[in-house]
Structure formats: structure tokens, C-alpha cells
Structure 1
Amino acid sequence: MSLTTDFIAELIRAANEADRLTPFEVKRLLNRSVATIREMREQTGVPGSYRVKDVVIDLQVAAARADALPANEIRDNLLDAADIIRTLKIILDGKPS
């Protein structure tokens, strides 16, 4: 498995255990997700959006509020991050070298 695939699996596992994660773990996972998504967007040429509905902005807000997020919002944010990263990985895997 690739590092990206491993990270996607880590996000999904964490989402399934959202009620057991510490705020530090949530913040770390969400911040890693933001960095990964930005890097992958750059590699794919898929631009980010500076509008209110960009998932990166949502993830950054969630990371900043990690100590106050209920388990269901933690789960949703981690699954959103995994979904975006998986989609970007599919795009990257399909790009000619």
C-alpha cells in the first residue's frame, strides 16, 4: 500500500473511533489532511477554492475547534477528508507520468 492509501485507512479507522480520540489526535489528523489535500491538489492541477464551501476551510475550522467538536462531527470531518484524498489519489493515479 502507498502512504496515501495508508493515510486514508487511518482516517477511516479514526472516524470509526471518533468518540475515543483526543482533541490533539483530531487536530493532528485534520491538519495532516489539509496539508495532504493541498499538496495533492497542486500535483493534480485541481485548484482549491477560496470560497466559503471549500473542504479545506471546513477542515481547518474543525481542527481549530477540535476540543469542542462532538463525535459525530469529528467522524464526518474525517470521512470528508478521506473521501477528498481518495478522489485526488484516483486523479493522480490516472495522470500520465
Structure 2
Amino acid sequence: MTTVALMWEARAVQGRGAELLEWARAQELAAEPLRRELFSAPQDRVLVLTWWDAPFDAELPELPEPAADLITRPVHRWRFESHGTGD
């Protein structure tokens, strides 16, 4: 089985990064990923990575768009296929 990573990245309205992070943390997915990790960065950015045992083109649950008044632009989404850790 292939491991697929979904990346979800959004930029909050200035000063609301912590709120966006908590919003992302509270979102439930229709299925449980192998792993889910949240990151924050300067400029009130939030990144969520989820890992799945699934084919690259599988239908997988993704985080929705937050309310428009919480973000400065549409969410960016990417899908990657894992090729190992390089160990």
C-alpha cells in the first residue's frame, strides 16, 4: 500500500493565528489518518499534515475551508506520495 500525505496550509488574519490553529485542531475527519500533525509559522500561518495508507488518487477526507473572516486567502492543498524516510 502507498502512503499518501495531505498538506493543508492557511494564513490567518493578522493576530488570529492561534485561533486558526485551534480551529484546525478541532476539525474532525470522516476517517482517522495514520498520523496528523499541526504546525504554525510566522505571519499567522497554519499547516496540517495527515498521512494515509491509500493509493495516491484515493478519495480522502480533508479539512474544510475556515470561515472567510478568519483567513486572508483560500487554503492551499497539496498531495504527496511517500518514498520513505531516507534512513
TM, length-normalised to structure 1: 0.28
Q: Between Structure 1 and Structure 2, which shows a larger proportion of strand residues? A: 2
TM, length-normalised to structure 2: 0.30
Q: Between Structure 1 and Structure 2, which shows a larger proportion of helix residues? A: 1
